[in-house]
């Protein structure tokens, strides 16, 4: 988990500074919105801060948010209150330390699928709450690694630049799974697949010197996201075949193509469609009766630019579906703040903060 290792290297005060800056802007933005559209419910919330309604607020925060609106509401309240709380994010599946002060929280964080690391998601005594890809946990975190609003500005892959026999599908995987091992070679019999990972390594990085340079500069092999991104951008489609089909689990293999102007070809979480930016923004392997039909569809799309661009129409939409907005809100770059806010929520409930 490159992100995890990397984030622990930052001095903690940088994380906190960032977190507070984001929380501050969140509060300012939210306050503006609340004041503008004050309905009865909002007025009540404003009131909470203006008078002594401690109990009401605590009761409000006891309700565990289930949808995006409730999440934002709960975060709005806790952001306002999140002053000096501390949080310790443990990156391992066990606790060896005792809490150093009353009210300190231990958070179990993992974004590995269950199949790779069952013990990462298991209930472990000592953690106060979890942050995993599973939306049922207290602070779900998606694999989205940058603000999707920036993705809008990314130009879709230009299929007009492709040659007659250009390879149109890329694949990067560090290990085989049953499905990958069976399906990728089958696709290759119908359409070339440029594969750069450790398995099915059929294409040399040096065909893209800019990507090869990035790859060579990567000291830690697991932190080569920039090199991978560079490869993904070179092809109109990217194979997003997950390790397993677990609800809510979509990795960077799924999200990065959106960021890079490319269309993902998906095998993964059974509920993936519920959090797409648009129903027609990804290609699902399961929608095709056989590999050949899918291969033919891909060939058709690169020859019909209008049809290919239909998969990018989400980039121009002003409003995205809630399912996608939710994944963006629960993205990795928001994760630390979301955890802070959950800590604040718990501390309010525990009456450890003065309102
Ligand atoms: C606010 O209410 C709490 C109980 O809900 C009470 O203990 C406290 O004294 C009140 N504070 C003020 C300033 O009225
Ligand atoms: C494309 O591939 C076909 C079949 O392999 C070959 O006959 C043809 O010469 C190739 N065209 C180009 C432009 O490379
Ligand atoms: C792919 O195979 C080539 C040749 O065997 C090797 O030089 C390269 O390091 C391999 N790349 C990866 C990512 O394993
Ligand atoms: C190309 O795609 C557009 C949009 O899906 C479609 O209306 C059009 O008929 C297609 N053209 C051809 C030649 O297939
Ligand atoms: C988005 O809108 C712009 C401006 O109207 C247009 O040029 C572009 O083709 C659109 N992009 C997509 C992916 O539909």
Rounded to the nearest whole angstrom, what is the distance from the C-alpha of residue 177 to the centroid of ligand 3? Answer: 19
Is residue 82 over pLDDT 70? no
Q: pLDDT grade, residue 2 (50/70/90)? A: very low
> If you search the block for the tokens 């629960």, which residue do you land on?
330
Give dist(CA 226, CA 216) in Å, integer.
11
Question: Any residues with CB less than 8 A from the CB of 187 and at least 6 apart, and which?
Answer: 169, 193, 239, 291, 294, 295
Identify the band that residue 313 occupies on the pLDDT scale cut at 50, 70 and 90: very high
Q: What is the pLDDT of residue 48?
A: 42
pLDDT higher at 96 or 216: 216
In the chain, pLDDT over 90 holds for what percent of residues?
46
pLDDT band at 88; cut points 50, 70, 90: low
Residue 235 Cα to ligand 4 middle (Å): 21
Q: Who lines ligand 2 at CB under 6 A? A: 164-165
How many angstroms is it from 163 CA to the middle of ligand 2? 10
pLDDT band at 342 (very low <50, low <70, confident <90, very high): confident
Residue carrying the six token digits 């800056």: 21
Give the per-residue pLDDT at 72. 67
Task: Tell me whether residue 342 is exposed, middle or buried, using C-beta atoms within 10 angstroms of its C-beta: 0 to 12, 13 to 18, 19 or more.
Answer: buried
Q: What is the mean pLDDT of the chain?
A: 80
Point out the least confidently predicted range of 3-12, 57-66, 104-113, 121-130: 3-12
Q: What is the pLDDT of residue 50?
A: 43
Residues near 149 by beta carbon (within 8 Å), at least 6 away in sequence:
none
The ligand minimizing its distance to the Cα of 55 is 1
pLDDT over 50 (residue 28): no
Give the residue, 39 or 100, on which the prediction is more confident: 100
Of 183, 117, 122, 151, nearest in space to 255 by CA? 151
173 vs 347, residue with greater confidence: 173
Higher confidence at residue 29 or residue 308?
Answer: 308
Q: What is the mean pLDDT of residues 275-294?
A: 98
Phi first, then psi, for residue 252 (nearest 5°) are -65, -20
In this predicted model, which residue has the larger pLDDT, 225 or 96?
225
What pLDDT is attached to residue 103? 78
Q: 3-state secondary structure string, the chain?
A: CHHHHHHHHCCHHHHHHHHHHHHHHHHHHHHHHHHHCCCHHHHHHHHHHHCCCHHHHHHHHHCCCCCHHHHHHHHHHHHHHCCCCCEEEECCCCCCCCCCCCCCEEEEECCCCCCCCHHHHCCCCCCCEEECCCCCCCCCCCCCCCCHHHHCCCCCCCHHHCCCCCCCEEECCCCCCHHHHHHHHHHHCCCCEEECCCCCCCCCHHHCHHHHHHHHCCCCHHHCHHHHHHHHCCCCEEEEECCCCCCCCCCHHHHHHHHCCCEEEEECCCCHHHHCCCCCCCEEHHHCCCHHHHHHHHHHHHHCHHHHHHCCHHHHCCCCCHHHHHHHHCCHHHHHHHHHHHHHHHHHHCCCCCC
From 308, 310, 315, 316, mutation site for ligand 5 pocket: most ligand atoms within 8 A of C-beta: 316
Q: Which ligand is nearest to the CA of 299?
A: 4
Q: Quick check: 132 pLDDT over 70?
A: yes
What distance in angstroms lies between residue 197's CA and the mean position of ligand 3's atoms? Answer: 8
- Give the pLDDT confidence of 68-77 residue by residue, as tens digits: 777 666 665 5
Pick from 170, 203, 204 the residue to mutate for probing ligand 3's pocket: most ligand atoms within 8 Å of its CB.
Answer: 204
Query: What are the backbone angles phi and psi of residue 342, rounded to the nearest 5°?
Result: -65, -40
pLDDT tens digit sequence for 159-183? 999 988 899 999 999 899 999 999 9
pLDDT at residue 138 in the model: 87
The CA-CA-CA angle for residues 124, 126, 131, to 5°, reads 65
51 has pLDDT over 70? no
**Residues 57-80, mean pLDDT to the nearest whole number:** 68
Which of 77, 239, 87, 268 lies closest to 170, judged by CA?
A: 239
Using the predicted structure, report yes or no on whether residue 37 has a pLDDT greater than 50.
no
Predicted pLDDT of residue 54: 60
């Amino acid at each position: 988990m490159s992100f995890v290792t990397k984030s622990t290297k930052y001095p903690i005060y940088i994380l906190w500074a960032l977190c507070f800056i984001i929380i501050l802007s969140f509060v300012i933005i939210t306050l503006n919105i609340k004041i503008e559209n004050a309905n009865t419910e909002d007025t009540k919330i404003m009131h909470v801060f203006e008078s002594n309604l401690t109990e009401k607020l605590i009761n409000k925060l006891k309700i565990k948010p289930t949808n995006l609106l409730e999440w934002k509401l709960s975060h709005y309240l806790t952001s306002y209150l999140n002053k000096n709380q501390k949080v310790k994010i443990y990156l391992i599946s066990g606790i060896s330390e005792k809490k150093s002060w009353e009210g300190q929280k231990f958070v179990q964080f993992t974004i590995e699928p269950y199949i790779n690391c069952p013990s990462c998601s298991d209930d472990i005594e000592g953690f106060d709450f979890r942050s995993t890809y599973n939306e049922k946990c207290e602070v779900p975190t998606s694999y989205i690694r940058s603000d999707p609003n920036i993705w809008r500005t990314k130009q879709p892959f230009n299929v007009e630049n492709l040659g007659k026999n250009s390879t149109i599908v890329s694949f990067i995987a560090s290990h085989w799974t049953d499905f990958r091992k069976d399906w990728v070679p089958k696709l290759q019999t119908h359409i070339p697949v440029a594969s750069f990972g450790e398995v099915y390594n059929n294409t040399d990085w040096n065909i893209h010197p800019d990507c090869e340079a990035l790859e060579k500069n990567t000291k830690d092999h697991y932190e080569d996201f920039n090199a991978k991104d560079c490869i993904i951008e070179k092809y109109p489609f990217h194979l997003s075949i997950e390790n397993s089909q677990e609800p809510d689990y979509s990795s960077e293999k799924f999200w990065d193509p959106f960021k890079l102007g490319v269309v993902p070809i998906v095998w993964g979480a059974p509920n993936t469609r519920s959090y797409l930016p648009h129903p027609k923004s990804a290609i699902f392997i399961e929608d095709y009766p056989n590999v050949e039909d899918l291969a033919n569809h891909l060939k058709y799309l690169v020859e019909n630019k209008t049809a290919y661009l239909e998969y990018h129409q989400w980039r121009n939409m002003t409003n995205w579906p809630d399912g996608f907005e939710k994944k963006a809100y629960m993205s990795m770059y928001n994760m630390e703040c979301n955890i802070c806010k959950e800590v604040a929520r718990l501390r309010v409930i525990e009456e450890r903060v003065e309102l």
